[in-house]
Structure 1
Amino acid sequence: MSQRLYPSRPIVGVGGVIVDGERLVLIKRKYEPLANRWSIPGGTLEVGESLEDGVARELFEETGLVVRVGPVIEVFDRILRDEDGRVKYHFVLVDYLCLPVGGTLQAGDDVSEAEWARFDGLAPYALTDKASSVIARARQLPLDW
Structure 2
Amino acid sequence: MNPQAIPAVSVALRKGERLLLVRRGREPARGLHAFPGGRIEAGETAEEAVRRELIEETGLEAGALSLLREIDLKAHDGRVFRLRVFSGAYIGGEASPGDDAEHAAWYTVEEMRNLPMTASTLAIAEDILGTQE
TM interval, shorter chain, is 0.7 to 0.9
Tell me the TM-score normalised to structure 1 length. 0.80
Give the length in aligned residue pairs: 127
1:31 lines up with 2:26 in the alignment: yes
Highest CA radius of gyration, 1 or 2?
1
Q: CA deviation at 1:101?
A: 1.7
Which has a greater percent of strand? 1
Q: 1:101 aligns with which of 91, 101, 107?
A: 91
SS at match of 2:79: strand
Tell me the TM-score normalised to structure 2 length. 0.86
Q: Flag structure 1 segments of 5+ consecutive residues without an equivalent.
A: 1-8, 83-87, 141-145
Mapping for residues 57-96 of structure 1, pairs under 5 Å:
57-80=52-75, 82=77, 88-96=78-86
Mapping for residues 1-145 of structure 1, pairs under 5 Å:
9-80=4-75, 82=77, 88-139=78-129
Q: CA deviation at 1:54?
A: 0.8
SS at match of 1:34: coil
Percent identical among aligned pairs is: 30
Q: CA deviation at 1:120?
A: 3.0
- Residues 38 and 81 (structure 1 numbering): CA distance in 2 closer, same or farther, change over 3 Å? closer
